[in-house]
């Protein structure tokens, strides 16, 4: 059991051990009335509840639909949640530090539109920005464009000290608008760029492998690196973290860059899967990401959360969406359920914060 599983992190203190005079105390206290060491108690991690919900959804939809529990559909679920999961991992790291990025949907759409426009043959499409560049060169430029958005977010928050909500809402609007400008309000097709989204290795789509790699890397960063411990400390108390010598601005800066870079990669995966960049691509993407992160146990107040909870929440959202489609529920109800889950998750988080304050 780790501090992260118990709702804390490296920034939260573990229960104090009974060290002072321990031997003498044990000699004087009868075994029948000896206090129980808190570390010896059996506790259930918060992720167990999420795992239980996931299993319950699997069982329900497997019974309700004969097409749900089969290999092809399960791979389809993983492929669909990969795009959200890739972005939810850095979003978890950011939220642990008390920050968040609402511009990820616009970054994904802008990155996809940028590569499509740069690779579009001159004079063939209606957009005046077509350049006819090779796809690999356009790919690199598009990722740099995503990192540029991350740079703007990071600089605004850490240097200009603008609130992350205002900053990322602004860049959400700016780059969604620039996506429409680049595409001239239309969908831009791209040729020769389907390998990233649809290629399969051992019958598993490439995005699933990318998703797994991001999950493992994020888990290791949070659990075993100084950077991960720093993000927990910053979320628990930014002032205390600075006094402890942690370079808080640099850590948060890196978090925004990671968020933007992986949002851009997710946008390129989406483009590769559908074969065209739409001005409305990845709409509502930020809502799905925030829902997964908060539902997974990360606190809006910072200092709490983990990758395992986030991934279980991502899978819950994916299974729920797929299962509702299997049951022929109208697709707009999926958005309704997503909003309800977000509201419930935030409500529980706020209740937990108030209870902790009253207990303290």
Closest-CA residue to 94 (of 239, 262, 213) = 262
Residue 45: per-residue pLDDT: 60
CA dist 109 and 111 (Å) reads: 6
Count other Cβ atoms within 10 Å, centred on residue 61. 20
Token digits for 189?
């097709």
* Residue 356 counted as domain residue: no
Helices (H), 225-247: 226-236, 238-243
What Cα–Cα distance (Å) separates residue 245 from each residue in 3, 234, 259? Answer: 22, 11, 24
Residue 20: per-residue pLDDT: 39
Closest-CA residue to 107 (of 288, 267, 293) = 267
The CATH number of the domain where 92 resides is what? 1.10.3470
Assign 21 to helix, strand or coil: coil
Residue 210: give the domain boundaries.
Answer: 45-349
* Residue 34 counted as domain residue: no
Residue 356: per-residue pLDDT: 67
Residues 6+ apart with CB under 8 A from 324: 333, 334, 337
* Residue 286 counted as domain residue: yes
Number of independent structural domains in the chain:
1
Residues 6+ apart with CB under 8 A from 274: 197, 281
* Residue 10 counted as domain residue: no
* Residue 312 counted as domain residue: yes
What Cα–Cα distance (Å) separates residue 12 from each residue in 20, 92, 289, 304, 357? Answer: 22, 17, 25, 9, 15
* Residue 289 counted as domain residue: yes
- From first to last of its 360 residues, the chain has per-residue pLDDT tens of 444 443 444 444 444 343 334 444 333 333 433 433 333 343 456 678 889 889 999 999 999 999 999 999 999 999 999 999 999 999 999 999 999 999 999 999 999 999 999 998 887 777 788 888 999 999 999 999 999 999 999 999 999 999 999 999 999 999 999 999 998 888 899 988 888 888 999 999 999 999 999 999 999 999 999 999 999 999 999 999 999 999 999 999 999 999 999 999 999 999 999 989 999 999 889 999 999 999 998 988 888 899 999 999 999 999 999 999 999 888 788 888 878 888 887 777 777 767 766 765
Burial of 179 (0-12, 13-18, 19+ CB in 10 A): buried
CA dist 268 and 101 (Å) reads: 19
Cβ proximity of 266 and 274 under 8 Å: no
Residue 46: per-residue pLDDT: 67
CA dist 3 and 209 (Å) reads: 28
Say what the pTM is: 0.83
Which residues pair with residue 200 across a beta bridge? 205
Residues 6+ apart with CB under 8 A from 122: 130, 131, 132
* Residue 271 counted as domain residue: yes
Tell me, letter by letter, the H, E, C secondary structure of 120-180: CCCCCCCCCCCCCCCHHHHHHHHHHHHHHHHHHHHHHHHCCCCCHHHHHHHHHHHHHHHHH
CA dist 66 and 52 (Å) reads: 22
Q: Output phi, psi for 2, to 5 deg.
A: -115, 165
Residue 113: per-residue pLDDT: 95
What does the angle CA 114 – CA 118 – CA 120 come to, to the nearest 5 degrees?
115
CA end-to-end span of the chain, whole Å? 24
Cβ proximity of 279 and 187 under 8 Å: yes
């Amino acid at each position: 059991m780790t501090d992260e599983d118990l709702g804390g992190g490296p920034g939260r203190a573990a229960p104090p051990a009974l060290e002072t005079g321990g031997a003498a105390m044990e000699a004087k206290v009868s075994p029948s009335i000896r206090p129980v060491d808190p570390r010896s108690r059996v506790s259930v991690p918060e992720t167990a509840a999420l795992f239980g919900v996931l299993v319950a959804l699997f069982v329900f939809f497997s019974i309700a639909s004969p097409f749900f529990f089969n290999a092809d559909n399960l791979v389809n679920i993983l492929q669909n949640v990969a795009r959200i999961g890739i972005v939810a991992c850095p979003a978890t790291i950011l939220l642990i530090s008390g920050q968040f990025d609402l511009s990820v949907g616009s970054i994904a759409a802008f990155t996809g539109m940028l590569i499509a426009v740069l690779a579009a043959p001159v004079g063939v499409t209606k957009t005046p920005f077509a350049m006819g560049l090779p796809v690999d060169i356009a790919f690199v430029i598009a990722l740099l464009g995503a990192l540029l958005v991350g740079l703007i977010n990071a600089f605004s928050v850490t240097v200009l000290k603008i609130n992350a909500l205002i900053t990322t809402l602004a860049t959400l609007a700016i780059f969604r608008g620039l996506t429409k400008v680049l595409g001239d309000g239309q969908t831009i097709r791209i040729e020769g760029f389907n390998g990233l989204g649809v290629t399969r290795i051992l019958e598993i789509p490439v995005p699933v492998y990318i998703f797994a790699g991001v999950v493992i890397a994020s888990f290791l960063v949070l659990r075993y690196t100084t950077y991960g411990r720093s993000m927990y400390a910053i979320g628990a108390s930014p002032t205390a973290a600075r006094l402890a010598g942690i370079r808080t601005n640099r850590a948060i800066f890196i978090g925004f860059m990671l968020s933007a870079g992986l949002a851009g990669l997710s946008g390129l995966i989406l483009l590769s899967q559908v074969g065209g960049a739409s001005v409305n691509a990845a709409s509502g993407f930020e809502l799905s990401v925030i829902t997964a992160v908060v539902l997974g146990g990360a606190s809006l107040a910072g200092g709490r959360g983990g990758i395992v909870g986030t991934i279980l929440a991502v899978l819950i959202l994916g299974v729920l969406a797929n299962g509702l489609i299997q049951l022929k529920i109208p697709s707009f109800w999926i958005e309704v359920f997503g909003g309800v889950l977000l509201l419930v998750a935030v409500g529980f988080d706020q209740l937990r914060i108030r209870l902790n304050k009253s207990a303290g």
